[in-house]
Amino acid sequence: MLYNPHTHSHLITQFASLHIACITHDHTIATFIPPLSHTKVQTWWQERAAEVETGSREILFSTGPDGSGCVAGIVMLSKPDAETGPFRGAVEKLLVSPGWRRKGVARALMKRLEDVASEKGRTLLILDTETGSPAEMMYPRLGYIKVGIIPKFGISPKDGALKSETFFYKDLRSNNPL
C-alpha cells in the first residue's frame, strides 16, 4: 500500500517499531545504533513522511494478511531532484518484521515499489545492503545487478565493527520481471 500522510500518519509509530525490531533482532545496519530511542526513530520516520508531502519520496508498506492491521514490511523510494537524472530512484529501508519473513512480503513490496517507480518515471533504481546479509542474496533474484562492494561502509549495531556494503541497480526499462 502506498503511504498517504493524511490517512496513514497513525502508522508512523509502527514504522519506527519495525525499524527498531530489525536492528535489534538481526543487527541490521539501518541508520541507527543502540541504544535505540523510539522517539528518535519515530522522529526520523516523521521526517520521511514529510518528504512524501513534498514529492521527493514514496513510502510503501504492507500489513499482515492476518487482519490485525500490523505493519509487516516497509520500503521507500527516494526521488532525488536532479536535472541530469530525473529517471533515477533509490530503494531505501526494505524492512520486514521478523515474524513475516520468508512469506513473500519483501518480494511483494519490491514489486509494488517498482510499479510506483515506473509510474513516477523513475526507471533506473539503485540500492545498497550489507554484504553477507540475506537481502544481498535476494536482490539478484529480483533482477538487480550487483555493481560492487565498498569495504568498511557502515557501523554494525551488534558490535561496532565496520561492515561492507554491496550496491545494486535495476533498469526497469529492460522489462526484467520479478
Distances in whole angstroms, Cα of residue 145 to Cα of each of 42, 126, 128, 137: 32, 9, 11, 11
> With DSSP H G I counted as helix, E B as strand and the rest as coil, what are the percentages for the chain, rounded to 5?
35, 30, 35
pLDDT digits (tens, 9 = 90+) for 103-151: 999 999 999 999 999 999 999 999 999 999 999 999 999 999 999 999 9
Question: 47: phi > 0 → left, psi -120 to 50 → alpha, else beta; which?
Answer: alpha
pLDDT exceeds 70 at position 55: yes
Q: How far, rounded to the nearest angstrom, does the alpha carbon of residue 109 sit from its chain's CA centroid?
A: 9
CB distance 75 to 91 below 8 Å = yes
- Global pTM reads 0.94
Distances in whole angstroms, Cα of residue 82 to Cα of each of 47, 88, 97, 175: 21, 9, 33, 24
pLDDT exceeds 80 at position 14: yes
CB distance 65 to 99 below 8 Å = no
